[in-house]
Amino acid sequence: MIDHSLKKTVDHIDITKYNVTDLVHELRSTSFTSREIYNACQLYKQMLEEEELTIILTIAGSTQAAGCLKLYRDLVRFNMVDAIVATGASIIDMDLFEGLGNRHYIGSNKADDDILRENYIDRIYDTFISEDDLKQVDNFIEDFASNHCGAKTYSSREFLNLLGWHLRTGNSLVQECFKEDVPIFCPALNDSAAGIGLLMHQTNNPTSHVTIDSIKDLRELTYLKVEMQNTGLFMVGGGVPKNFAQDIVVAAESIGHRVPMHQYALQLTVADVRDGACSSSTLDEASSWGKVDNINTQMVYGEATSTLPIIANYAYNNVNLKNRKRRKLHELFRS
């Protein structure tokens, strides 16, 4: 019988507690996804060791709900990424959700969703969350916007950086990024509990409220590309974050700046290529658009909660991260 309750919490992976180096080296002489993982490990290591390369991490999907929440914080803490582009759900509905003291719970993909609905439990495949807890996030965003932001127009980066400054918990990617000067861009921030909270805020403050400007996001991330020039992409999933990060090459040229294509690109995905999408195109296809140089690319076709911990752990154990320069990219936007 399936348990339709919230009992056992999801435990988050800690890449500092194990070492997959020997396993990864064994994968060198295998095939299929195993060899893709090996190639991805070597490519990410190369990216981290290239002195002037700025690494942009993109996050889509529900990996944080499924056990990777601490992993993303550690990528920032140990200087393994320089900027993040993510869905609003990744940053608000999962990361901030747990940062406020809530948890994801082990459930079942065979649960009766009608029973879950009756008990105000939301399902993310085989993971459960309390809808009441999620509403707490809506209310937190409304309160934050109404009492700490002023009647201003923000990019999502500005809004999330202010949120990171406001938070008093270390259990949050948003706060970790604030501490380490790693900007987070959420070009579809409204597609999350942030959207619900800001809707409530604007409804209660119809003439004086916070506004999120997604074009300002594009302008800021494009400016980052113009200033840093040499960039590589580490993409978990696809969708809006992947395409938004790829597009800044074309966006820069559209406003008169010649910039190089992204020199590296690594994508973890389960998307199909046959509909011409693969969550905003394969990396080879992106090369035809002038976005990604396909010399140093690797697609890994596997579910990211399985592949990401291996790649992140390999890099953590095989790169001298203390010697890597911290970019502190928020400084680009300070007047």
Q: Just list the catalytic residues.
A: 291
Instruction: Look at the block and give the residue holding tokens 């990424």.
Output: 81
Instruction: Look at the block and give the residue holding tokens 């890449």.
Output: 15
Of 189, 3, 211, the residue nearest 95 (C-alpha): 189
In angstroms, the CA 59 to CA 154 distance is 21
Q: How is residue 253 written in tokens?
A: 């040229």
In angstroms, the CA 135 to CA 25 distance is 46
Number of Cβ atoms within 10 Å of the Cβ of 118: 10
Q: Where are the alpha helices (DSSP H) in 149-182?
A: 156-166, 173-180
Q: How is residue 173 written in tokens?
A: 């990617």
DSSP per-residue string spanning 182-248? --EE-TTTTSSHHHHHHHHHHHHSTTS--EE-HHHHHHHHHHHHHHH--EEEEEES-HHHHHHHHHH
In angstroms, the CA 140 to CA 194 distance is 9
Letter for the amino acid at 133?
A: D
In angstroms, the CA 137 to CA 86 distance is 18
Of 281, 85, 262, the residue nearest 187 (C-alpha): 85
Strands 231-236 and 264-269: parallel
Of 302, 219, 264, the residue nearest 34 (C-alpha): 302
Q: How is residue 17 written in tokens?
A: 């507690």
CA distances to 52, 129, 132, 288 from 170, in Å: 29, 21, 23, 42
